[in-house]
Structure 1
Amino acid sequence: MIPDRRLLLVHAHPDDETINNGATMARYAAEGVGVTLLTCTLGEEGEVIPDELRQLAADHADQLGGYRIGELAEAMAHLGVTDHRWLGGAGRWRDSGMLHTPPNEHPRAFWRADPAEAVAAVVAVLREVRPQVVVTYDENGGYGHPDHVQAHRVTMAAVDAAADPAAHPTLGAPWQVSKVYWTCLPVSVLRRGQQALAEAGQETGFAIALDAGELGDATADELVTAEVDGEAFRAHKEAAMRAHATQITVRGSFFALSNGLGQELLATEHYRLARGEPGVAQGREQDLFTGIDPA
C-alpha cells in the first residue's frame, strides 16, 4: 500500500537530516506518512569528534564514510524512518569538503558531479516515490557548504524534470511535486537558543558563538512560512542525534558539532515554501501537507 501522504527529504551528508528535520521526520513517520530520505554523500570529509574514532578520518584510514552508513541507519531507526536511499548508490559521490580545499578537487566530489547524471538520479526517486512534498536546502545550502548548494541545485532541477514528460522517459511516469520547502532557522530562534545557552553557563561545556554566522545562515522571520511541532518526538530526535556520534555531541537541551559551538536542540522545526501554494492565507503553516489533496 502506498501512503496517501509522501515526503522526500534530500540532504547532503548523514546527520544533516536529523539536525534540521529529525522531529518532523519522526512525527510524520508516526502518523503513517511515507517518509523517504535521500542522502547525497557518505560524509567522508567530516571532522571526527571522539578521540577513539579519529583514525577513521579522511586523512587517516579514510573509513569514515562507511562508518557513517551505520550511524545513519541507527538514526533512522530512532526516527522510525524505513525508506532511506543514497543518491546514485552508496559512495557514488563523495563529500566535497569546503571550497578551495583538496577534497573539493576529488574526481568523485559531489560538487563536481555531472549535473545530468545527478539530476536523473533524483528524478528516478521522485517518480518512484511520488512525494507531494520535497524538503531540501536554500540556494546557499544553509551555510555555503558545496554539497549543500549542489543538493539544492540538483533537487530543484529534478523537481522540474520529474514533471516533464519529455525528460528522462525511461525513468517512469512524470510526477508533479505539490510543494518544495527549504529547511531554515529563523533569526529569532537562533537568538533565543544562544540566550538559553548563555543562561545555562558552563553546564553544557559548549562555547557560545561570537558571531551568529558561525552557526550558519539564519532566515529572517518574515520569510519563514511553516513550523512543524515535533515536541512529542524530541526524545526520538535526541536519540538520532546521539547516533551520529562522530559528528555531534549532545548535552541536555544543546548540541555541538566539531567546532564546539553550542546550539539549541530544536523539536519545532522551520521551513520556507519555495514552490507551490501556501496552505494558509495568513501566518505559518503547521503541517507541510496543508492544502494538498492526497493522491
Structure 2
Amino acid sequence: MALRLIAVHAHPDDESSKGAATYAHYLDQGAEVLIVSCTGGERGDVLNELVARDPKSRRDLAGLRRSEMDHAREIIGFQHRWLGYEDSGLPPEGVAVPQGSFADVPAEVSAEALVRLVREFRPHVMITYNEQGGYPHPDHIRCHEISKIAWDLSGDAESYPDAGEPWAIKKLYYESIFNTERMTRVYEVLREREPESPLIAQFEEMEQRFRRRPSDVTARVEVGRFFDQRDAALRAHASQIPPDSFFFFWPNDLQREAWPYEDYRLAASRVATSEFEADLFQGIDEETA
C-alpha cells in the first residue's frame, strides 16, 4: 500500500511556493500526494505586468488561475482537488471579508468538504499552515482552522456522518519553509561565494527580518534535487509570480549547497516519532498503515 500525503492550501500558487519540492520528492519515492486548494484565488492581484496586459486576466481571473494550477500540477505530478470556496481577498484592517467568501463561512461548515476528501483519499500525513496561517491572510487562517478540524474529527464516526467512512490521519505538520536558519545560512553562503553580488543587499534585508522569528522546525526533508522542478511549478502561476520575484533571488546551486531542505513543524502525531525528523512518514509502517 502506498503512503499518502495531503497538503491543504488556501489559494492556487501556495502549493508551489510552500512545499512543491517536498511533493516531488515523495512522488519520486512512490507515495501518493493530493493537493487541496481551498479557494480559486478569484480576488488575488495580478502581480506580473506581462500577464496583466492579457485581457483574460481582467475578464476571467478565476479561469486563468485554474489553467495555471493545472500546469503546475502537470509539472510536479500531484493529484489535485478544489475545495470550492471563494477567495476572501485581503481587505484593509477593520473591513469585513466579502459575504459568502471562504473566511466568512463558519469553519465547522467548510471543514465538512475537507473531511470528505480526507476520508476519500485516506492520507497518512497532512501538511497545512500554522495557527497564524503562515501569514495573517484570512484565507490562510481559515485553511489552518478547517485542517485542524479535519485532523481532529475525520476519524470520528459521529462527526460529519454523511462525509464517508472515518479515517484518522497519522501525522499533522505545519510548513515552516521560510525560517530563520535557512535564510541566515543562504545569506552566509552567498557572502562567502559571491561577496560582490548585488543580491547581498536584498538578502541582508530579508535575513534581518527573518532573524526576528524564532525557529520552530522539527522536520527537515532533503529535496534539493527537486528545486528546479519546484521553480518551474512556481513559474506556471505566472499571474502571481513575476520574473523578478524574490523566490528566484537565490540561484538553485547556491541553495543546494546552503540549504537543500524544506522544513516543517510536527504539530500532532498518532504514532511514535522522534524529536527531530528527516522523513515526514517516520513512524508509519507502510505495510500496516
| TM-score > 0.5 by shorter chain | yes
1:274 corresponds to: 267
Distance 1:22 1:95 in 2: 24
Q: Which region of structure 1 is more displaced relative to structure 2, 272-281 or 106-115? A: 272-281
Equivalent position SS for 1:87: strand
Q: Deviations over 1:42-91 (max 9, x none)?
A: 22232323323225799x8362222111111111111111x100113xxx
Letter in 2 for 1:137: Y
Equivalent residue for 1:24, pick from 22, 25, 33: 22
Equivalent position SS for 2:158: coil
Over the matched positions of the two proteins, sequence identity in percent amounts to 32
Gaps of 5+ in 2: none
Distance 2:137 2:241 in 1: 17
Kept in 2: contact 1:279–1:285 (CA 8 A): no
Q: For residues 47-126 of structure 1, what are the structure 2 equivalents within 5 Å?
A: 47-54=45-52, 61=58, 63-81=60-78, 83-88=79-84, 92-100=85-93, 104-126=96-118
Kept in 1: contact 2:219–2:264 (CA 8 A): yes
Gaps of 5+ in 1: none
2:239 corresponds to: 246
Letter in 1 for 2:246: A
Kept in 2: contact 1:71–1:243 (CA 8 A): yes
2:120 corresponds to: 128
Letter in 2 for 1:128: E
Kept in 2: contact 1:194–1:264 (CA 8 A): no
Once the 2 structures are TM-superposed, how far is the Cα of residue 276 of structure 1 from its aligned partner? 0.4
1:36 corresponds to: 34
1:46 corresponds to: 44
2:214 corresponds to: 220
When residues 196 and 54 of structure 1 are mapped into structure 2, their CA distance, relative to the original with a 3 A threshold, is: farther
2:174 corresponds to: 182
Letter in 1 for 2:267: A
Kept in 2: contact 1:137–1:148 (CA 8 A): yes
Distance 1:41 1:193 in 2: 33
Once the 2 structures are TM-superposed, how far is the Cα of residue 208 of structure 1 from its aligned partner? 4.6
Equivalent residue for 1:159, pick from 151, 154, 169: 151
Equivalent position SS for 1:112: coil
When residues 193 and 107 of structure 1 are mapped into structure 2, their CA distance, relative to the original with a 3 A threshold, is: farther
Equivalent position SS for 1:128: helix
Kept in 2: contact 1:44–1:64 (CA 8 A): yes
Distance 2:60 2:196 in 1: 36
Aligned-pair Cα RMSD in Å? 3.0
Distance 1:117 1:240 in 2: 31
Q: Deviations over 1:215-259 (max 9, x none)?
A: 7x98633x31111111121221111111111112456xxx427xx
Deviation beyond 4 Å, 4+ runs, structure 1: 55-58, 194-200, 206-209, 211-215, 261-267, 277-280
